[in-house]
Amino acid sequence: MAKKILITGASSGFGRGAAIELARRGHKVVASAETWPQVRNLRADAADAGAELEVIKLNLLDGIDIAHAATYDPDVLVLNAGVMESGSIVDIPMERVRDSFDINVFGHLKLAQGIVPKMVARKSGKVVWTSSMGGILVIPFVGIYCATKHAIEAIAGSMKAELAPYGVKVATVNPGVFGTGFNDTGAESHVQWYDANRAVVPMPDFGTALADQFDPREMIDAMVEMIPADEHLYRTMRPLATIDVAKQWQETEWTQDA
């Protein structure tokens, strides 16, 4: 059955791919992009793909944009937008930390607080949080990004328990290292403030870590199947090999020395 789906962060990457494909499959998709040029580009991309897609502007630092998005009443709310800021924990400017939490966590939480009460009232609906492998493990020098995703894991887990009695489901999407461009821009996001001569902890070269990223189609395909589905696992992590890495990390947390 066709679903009404609202997806944030659909101007690129997983959000764009999932939004267009879900619309092509007949779902009524509202996709958000951060800026007006991105809105227009996404509309054009959807038209080229033969997808009927409603596109709205949603900057998660803009209360007016959030209030407008909250007027929608989707069957599925996909909280997918995000930013990655690189830098060591002791060097990264607090402005970058606050922006990361405001966009990845607080803006989405505000949107959820506007939409989820409608789901509770009708006793149906689903909220999908895009977390990350970084919501399970920790990647040095993108620790603030991982911190926002750990926060999302806690919020999603709490929401799942709190909303289950009212017929509202909650799930997470946990991508590994995929070649959407997101990791690449995150890896260089420190260049405007970083000073190697003053840094407490020097930044590494991310080149090797980003050299062999996975094809994002695997994650997009999994999202397209999971988002409208009535039955599926709570966590959808891809690539599949990342699941073992995440489980091994969790084991290590209980055995490693300080």
pLDDT band at 194 (very low <50, low <70, confident <90, very high): very high
CATH class label, 4-253: alpha beta
Q: What is the pLDDT of residue 130?
A: 98
**Count of positions (residues) in the chain:** 258
pLDDT digits (tens, 9 = 90+) for 234-257: 999 999 999 999 999 999 999 999
Cis-peptide into 228, omega within 30 deg: no
* Mean pLDDT along residues 4-28: 98
**Residue 133 pLDDT greater than 90, yes or no:** yes
- Residues annotated as catalytic are 145
Lowest mean pLDDT among 40-44, 55-59, 128-132, 208-212: 208-212
d(CA 83, CA 183): 9
Residue type for position 222: A
The continuous run of DSSP H or E covering 7 comes out as strand 4-7
> What are the start-end ranges of the H helices in the chain?
13-24, 36-48, 63-69, 94-101, 108-122, 143-163, 182-187, 217-226, 240-253
pLDDT band at 174 (very low <50, low <70, confident <90, very high): very high
pLDDT digits (tens, 9 = 90+) for 22-78: 999 999 999 999 999 999 999 999 999 999 999 999 999 999 999 999 999 999 999
The pTM (predicted TM-score) of the whole model is 0.97
Q: What is the pLDDT of residue 209?
A: 85
Radius of gyration of the chain (CA): 18
Q: What is the pLDDT of residue 62?
A: 98
* Mean pLDDT along residues 147-158: 98
Q: What is the pLDDT of residue 207?
A: 85
